[in-house]
Amino acid sequence: MEAKPGADAPDADGSTTVARGGGCLGLILHIKPKLLYIITLSEVGGAQSHVWQLMQGFIDDFDVRLATSTPGPLTEAAQASGVPVYLLPALGRSISIRNDLRAIAECVQLFRAVNPAIVHAHSSKAGLLGRIAARLTGVPVVFTAHGWGFKPGVPLVRRGIVWASEALAAPLSDRIVCVSQYDQHLAEQYRVGKRHRLVTIRNGLHPEAPLAVPDVQPVNIIMTARFSEPKEQQLLVRALATLNASDAMLTFVGGGEELPACRDLAEQLGVSSRVRFLGDRSDVAELLAQSQVFVLLSRYEGLPISILEAMRAGLPVIASDVGGVSEEVHHGVTGFLVPTGDAQAVTRALQTLNDQPELRRRMGLAARHRFMQEFTREHMLRQTATVYRQICERTSAAHT
C-alpha cells in the first residue's frame, strides 16, 4: 500500500487530511465521515469520470479518499484537489490468483488503517476484491456496476465467469448501484443481488460546458471512446466511406490497442485524409463544441458518460441501441439509435443529419434539454447521498 506522495504532515493512516471520525458516528458528532472510493485503474474512461464527479460532489461533506492500482489521470486530479490517494499495486486488471489474494490483503490493510464510514467500489476487479475486503473488515460497502459484464453481446464464456463472480459478490454489498434501469432489470433477471439492495442512479455531469453549433457546414463527426472492446470505431470508418458527403470530417478521441487497425482501415478505404486520430485528450468538452454530430458505436454498454457529454454540449447523437443507451437517446428526437454492427444504418443516420442542418440544430437543442432535465451531476449526487445516508443511519443504529 502506497499513500499519497508529497505529504507534509501525514496522519497515522498515511494520509494528509485533518478530518477525523471514522465510521458513521462522524455524522452524529458533526465530523466528516471518511468516504473511500476504490477503482481498478486510474486511466481515462467513463467509470473514472464518474468517480471524479462523485469525489468533487462529496468533498465538502465527507473526508474523501481514493484507492487504485497505479497513478494516472484520476489520481492526478484527486491529488490536485487535496484528496488523499492510496496505491494498491496488486489491484490490476489481469486475473492472477496470487495477485488477487495480495490485493485483498492490501485492501484489508487499507480499510483497517483508514476506517472509512463507507467504501464505494467501482469497476469489476476493485468491485469484487474491495467487497471481499470490506466484509472481512466489517466496513459498509457500495458497489456501482458500470454496465454488467454478463449482458447480451459479451462473449459467452466471459459472460458466465462474470455472472458467477457477481452473483457470489452481491451478498457482500450493502447497496448495488446500477447506472441504468436496463442494468437493474438485468440484475433482477439474473438474480444478482436482492431487489431491496439494488438501486438505479443514472450518471450525471456538471452542466457547465461550451455549447456546439450543430447547424453549420461542413459537418465534423466525433466519437470519444477507447479503441478497445466493446467499441466499434472501425464500423464508423466504414460508414464514413459510404457517406455521400466528401467534405464531412471524422474525429476520434481516445487511445487503445485497436487504434492502429482502425487507422489502417481508414487508409485502405481511402478516407484517411478525412479522419483525425487525436488520442487521449483533456479538452474533450472543447472538441465536442467544435463538432456537429456525436457518434458512439458499441457492442454493449451501461449508460455511457460520453453520450451525456455530447448531450450537454447540445449535439445530436447517433448510438448503438444497446444497454441503457435508449435511456439517454430519444430516437428521432435527440438523435438516432441504430442496430449494433449495422454500418448501413449508421450511414443512413449520418446522411440524414449531414443533409439537414436544421434537424441537427433541433435535435441538439432537445438533447441539451433532456440532459438538463435528467442527467446533471446534482441529480446524481442527491440520489447517491440518499444511499450514503441510509447506510450511515443503519450503521449508527447498530452501534447504539
Mean pLDDT of the chain: 91
- CB 214 within 8 Å of CB 310: no
| Average pLDDT rounded to a whole number, residues 141-152 | 92
Confidence of residue 400 (pLDDT cuts 50, 70, 90): low
**β-pair partners for 289:** none
Query: What pLDDT is stored for residue 45 in this prediction?
Result: 83
Highest-confidence range of 4-8, 26-30, 162-166, 292-296, by mean pLDDT?
292-296
CA-based diameter of the chain, in Å? 71
Domains, the chain, with CATH or none: 25-204+377-398 (3.40.50.2000), 220-374 (3.40.50.2000)
For the record, the C-alpha cell of 399 comes out as 452501534
Please tell me the predicted confidence (pLDDT) of residue 25. 47
Tens of pLDDT, residues 244-282: 999 999 999 999 999 999 999 999 999 999 999 999 998
Residue 386: predicted pLDDT: 96
- CA dihedral 66→71→77→80, nearest 10 degrees, is 90
- pLDDT at position 24 is 58
The residue among 1, 45, 12, 10 whose CA lies nearest residue 133 is 1
- List residues bridging with 119 in a β-sheet: 36, 141
Q: Which of 122-126, 317-321, 356-360 has the lowest mean pLDDT?
A: 122-126
Rounded average pLDDT over 69-92? 95
Q: What band does 399 get if pLDDT is binned at 50, 70 and 90? A: low
With contact defined as beta carbons under 8 Å apart, do 381 and 132 qualify? no
Q: What pLDDT sits at residue 17?
A: 34
Q: Give the mean pLDDT of 285-308.
A: 96
Residue of 324, 397, 394, 322 lying closest to 142 (CA atoms): 394
For residues 150 and 156, what is the distance between their CA atoms, to the nearest angstrom?
A: 8
Q: Residue 58 corresponds to which amino acid?
A: F
* Grid-cell match 455511457, residue found: 304
Average pLDDT over residues 117-140: 96
What integer is the mean pLDDT of 75-95? 92
Phi, psi of 39 (to 5 degrees): -145, 150
pTM for this structure? 0.84
> Which DSSP state fits 18?
-
Strands 85-87 and 118-122: unpaired
Per-residue model confidence (pLDDT) at position 7: 35
Inter-CA distances, 399 with 24, 114, 141, 392, Å: 10, 19, 17, 11
* pLDDT at residue 30 in the model: 58
Does residue 21 have a pLDDT over 50? no
pLDDT digits (tens, 9 = 90+) for 153-195: 888 898 999 999 999 999 999 999 999 999 999 999 999 999 9
Cis-peptide, bond into residue 260, ω within 30° of zero: no
Say what the pLDDT of residue 14 is.
39
